[in-house]
Structure 1
């Protein structure tokens, strides 16, 4: 790989770091002191893109929605709802209330 760029830049003494620096300068075509501004623009772009990204729902988004650090109350409410549903189904099936209390102990 180095040989390819050494031939391209017509200098057989270039190190890999020098090749990278030269390629970076040519690829961006902006002055060195503008790199920080470019980085800030790229960060803003990705922030806006992630904020307004399409409404595709995937497993990771659902997991983050349910189990995020701000969702402790939501997780507790879902658990209590499941317990209430389980209890109501058992009572409707004719199970004795004492048996239900034994399960929860």
Structure 2
């Protein structure tokens, strides 16, 4: 019997787009693709310090409803989820269950202090 998935977090899915800066270069901006309900499970974390800056990284498993390959609603590595001021960078995406009802996004949350 499959585990019950509680999609109780509302996340915004974003993708990076290059936009001309008018001087022959470009600026990277984030474009909203949609809102997905998700379940978030935190994993282990690590902290590094460099020159008055501390960076904390936490591994996350984010589960969302599946969408067909090629759909704008299907997360991909390199995209990110936003929840308020929190940012979750998507590292990998795989099917969670044998029937393909859910996707597991391996993500990383980084916080500087």
Instruction: Tell me whether the two structures share a fold, i.e. TM-score over 0.5.
Output: no
TM-score by length of 1: 0.14
Q: Indicate the structure whose relative CO is greater, using CA pairs within 8 Å and at least 6 residues apart.
A: 2
Larger helix fraction of residues: 1
Larger strand fraction of residues: 2
